[in-house]
Amino acid sequence: MSGTIQLLTDTLAAAKAEGRSALIAYLPAGFPTVDGGIEAIKAVFDGGADVVEVGLPHSDPVLDGPVIQTADDIALRGGVKIADVMRTVREAHGATGKPVLVMTYWNPIDRYGVERFTAELAEAGGAGCILPDLPVQESALWREHAEKHGLATVFVVAPSSKDERLAKITAAGSGFVYAASLMGVTGTRASVGAQARDLVERTRATGTGLPVCVGLGVSDAGQAAEVAGFADGVIVGSAFVKRMLDAPDDAAGVEAVRALAGELAEGVRGRS
């Protein structure tokens, strides 16, 4: 099975054709267990998510706030491995037919082997990777293997990114551009902030044809609707993870994220 970047591209284009933003959800692999994480992803798709990012748990994250760090710690204590991440992608995509990406820092891929990682992700039906700490100027090796296996390379831009850097990132990336709504780490916030709209406008001004999707801080349908007013996609992570952490048991957690996906899906359709 080859990578499914085309499925990702088609999914984002279909949302645009419907006059709405895409809903992109994030959940870490292995949380609360590998099987439980797979069921949660299926539930999020069932609730209305268009795309899911599967997080590769990391012991020293630079972008993730305390909620996702807590979930990563649970997954790591449970012994989650890259093979479990690949299994999560395979089963979630296989059960739903929808695009599934991996979000990971560079070090695990570097240690695992770029060719091995990209080949296995493509075989699992993955659509690509979001690589928040891989500088575009050091990404040639990754992009060579990702392109070989039909995988998207999604880079992260931030409000601090200069226009020249934005142009380089959009030229090198594929799938979509991940626009961090504000400086800082992941987590739910009372307001997404005006910086997000400005960043989307500056990213589009590079002339890129890639969708620009906004993450960091979106936690409810109202915020999703706000971001959907100017972005091609709305990315939600910590809010899903928190629903699972707050649930009394794994089954309740699965139902909680299904319900949240439904609320957010209404938001991106302007019906919050």
- Report the catalytic residues: 53, 64
Tally of CB atoms within 10 A around 32: 21
Q: How many helices (DSSP H) and strands (DSSP E) are in the chain?
A: 12, 9
CA–CA separation, 34 and 267 (whole Å): 29
Q: Please tell me the number of Cα atoms within 13 Å of 217 on its side-chain side.
A: 19
Q: Name residue 186's amino acid.
A: T
CA–CA separation, 216 and 65 (whole Å): 10
CA–CA separation, 130 and 209 (whole Å): 18
Within the chain, strands assigned E span: 22-28, 51-55, 100-103, 128-130, 152-154, 156-157, 177-180, 212-215, 233-236
CA distances in angstroms from 261 to 143, 181, 221, 222, 224, listed in the order given = 31, 20, 9, 13, 11
